[in-house]
Amino acid sequence: MTTVGQRLRAVPSWQITLGIALLALGFLIAAQLASEGPRIRYTSQERSPLVETVNGLQAQQQSLKDRILTLRAQIQQAEQRGQGSAVVIRQINDGLEKARIAGGLIPLRGSGVVFQLEDSVKPTAPGGNNDDYRVSARDIRTVVEELWLAGADAISVNGERLTTSTAILDIGASVLVNSAFLAQPYQISGIGPKDLYDRVSASQGFADFLRARSATYGLQVSFFQPNPVNVPAFAGTVTLRFARPAASPSAAP
């Protein structure tokens, strides 16, 4: 008669390993299904169509942005094909390249710093306001302003390039930048001089910000200095509906 122990010993070790892995797999599948549960219930609530609309619109936004970047690259190539045929074309193309760089339509790389902001993990003080413990659009704008004042060339927030038309605003506990819905952690990448971080951290405005938001409410502010810092191109509209070029001596040739 064989005992249970003997039977177990007869099982090859790979089967045991596989068995343990399958057990973990089963657990994860169950966890996944369980986490689907509340979301299914959630979608049956009144605001669920709104969440789905937001998801759909965000997907649309991403594909439109990709299309814009592709078209701009194609236009730039097509415009440069005419290059060399005449001096005037070359001059206009050079001007266009400079204008695109000035506007933020070309991705840049260089020295700089990336600041990361995250919500506080401190419990809200009795009678306190939860919003004070979250990263707000104002917090992001403060860091952006300090980076500009310290001599930054170009800035992006979670991959959204800051341009002449960029607004940064609160929407609930998150923020919109260039009308893109961003969630924390917020990474503010700035290209600038090698000592960009030192310049920012030495400024009174940044010290005030850390005192008011980090020391008081526990907002998590960190930084890193990748080499290089990458800032993407702006993938939004450059079409003016109300403004038109005004005649001026400094206007384009």
Contact set for other proteins, span 84-123 (CB under 8 A): 85-86, 88-89, 92-93, 95-96, 98-112
Residues β-bridged to residue 224: 114
Q: Which of 1, 121, 215, 240 binds other proteins (CB under 8 A)?
A: 240
Q: Which residues contact 94 (CB under 8 A, 6 or more apart)?
A: none
Q: Which of 117, 135, 157, 168 binds other proteins (CB under 8 A)?
A: 168
Which residues in 121-160 contact other proteins (CB under 8 A)? 137-138, 141-142, 145, 148-149, 151-155
Q: Which H/E stretch holds residue 223?
A: strand 220-224
Site membership for other proteins, residue 47 (CB under 8 A): yes
Site membership for other proteins, residue 39 (CB under 8 A): yes
- Burial pattern 220-246, b for ≥16 Cβ within 10 A else e, equals bbeeeeeeebbbbbbbbeeeeeeeeee
Which is closer to other proteins, CB of 1 or CB of 240?
240
Site membership for other proteins, residue 212 (CB under 8 A): no
Pairing of strands 154-157, 160-161: antiparallel
Which is closer to other proteins, CB of 166 or CB of 187?
166
Separation CA 203–CA 199 (nearest Å): 7
Site membership for other proteins, residue 18 (CB under 8 A): yes
